Structure 1
Amino acid sequence: MGGRFGPVHKLTAADEAGDFDCGRQELNLFLQRYALVNQRANSAQTYVSCVDDAVVGYYSLCVGSVGFDEAPHRVQKGLARHRVPVMLLARLGVDQRFQRLGLGRALLKDAILRTLQAADIAGIRALLAHAKDEHARQWYLSWDFEPSPTDPFHLFLLIKDMRAAGR
């Protein structure tokens, strides 16, 4: 991940998140209060990058499914009209002091690699991100995510596209 950030690892109680501030209170609050609780309950797994012991970036993954009609045409193609299995990139945040340094890109790449590993074990058609605002939506679109026909802020990246891109 480069010399300035630590390697991405699963969140532990030793990781300090109290000063984390990505500029979005709901993302800060999730990391500080709920990420470890959700991880212990097996409802979401959170991965972090730290400088010293302080979290400077994180993302959370959980599995889910979406209705067939909520998925873009390329995600639907070749599937029966049932719910579509996805890996949900539930949250992704980078501390404001470390934004625009490539950490978000590194975290997304790590999430993609973990999603590809999971897709080799269980059925996952795509990685789904819920963009929090237009800036985040544009960022995911720059990674070739495709918008849902029912919500332009729900964005999909097909497993086959991740594999083809060597991500």
Structure 2
Amino acid sequence: MTVRIPFDNLSFSVLTEDIDVSSFRCGEPDLTEFLIEDALENQAARLSVTRLVSYEGQIVGFFTLTNDCIIRKGISDDDGEEWYPYPHYPALKIARLATHQEFEGRGVGRAMLLKTVAIAMRLSQYVGCRMITVDSKPKSEGFYLKYGFQRALMKKKKDTIPLYRDFYRSYQEAERRMSPPLSVFDGGGRREP
């Protein structure tokens, strides 16, 4: 039986040149290659930011985020806002997400998604951001669907499946059900200076 790693036992940090990522291996060689060869360069060029997830001093996962948008016609009528007049919704894109092959099935991927939602919530206090998007590999689609993502209502890309999550809609629903409300934990929507 695989033992899940509690979220509180994981640490998150932004990739820097001082961190050795050469021993990281996941099931997708192109993701491993991106982390080792390209992530720092993309970050330096302000194209994306890569965060590492560590457990007991070992890198157990990473995820890379960038800005995105999703066409309004690509989302379900239940998502977004009926009154919103623009053709696209602002989004945060999960450009890459990978768990070290020795730690698969231990909750690392879930933790990275939770952290991504927290980042999206924080980002939305400074700039418009309503959706989280990802172009999923077919074998990873089930993982994202399990955590509230849904297929975008648009053409499938060559070798990926466009998915999205209206994270703010999920937040609003949770806010109504929880006691105390989630806003107690995120500053009640106040914006920091």
TM norm structure 1 = 0.87
After superposing the two structures, state which structure 1 stretch, 48-57 or 8-17, moved more. Answer: 48-57
Q: Which runs of 5+ in 2 are unaligned?
A: 175-181, 186-193
State the identity %.
22
Cross-structure match for 2:162: 154
Per-residue deviation, residues 65-120 of structure 1 (Å, max 9, x unmatched): 12222333333542224222111011100010111111111111111101110011
Work out which of the two has the higher radius of gyration on C-alpha atoms and give 1 or 2: 2
How many aligned residue pairs are there? 166
Describe the SS at the equivalent of 1:64: strand
CA contact (8 A) 2:79 2:169 kept: no
Spell out the pairing of 1:12-161 with structure 2 (5 A cutoff): 12-51=16-55, 54-78=58-82, 79-133=84-138, 135-151=139-155, 153-161=161-169
Q: Deviations over 1:33-88 (max 9, x none)?
A: 11111111111111111246542200011111122223333335422242221110
Runs of at least 4 residues off by over 6 Å: none
RMSD: 2.3
Q: Cα distance, 1:6 vs. partner?
A: 4.1
**Distance across 1 between alignment mates of 2:78 and 2:127:** 20
- Which blocks of at least 5 consecutive residues in structure 1 are unaligned? none
Distance 1:87 1:4 in 2: 24
TM-score by length of 2: 0.77
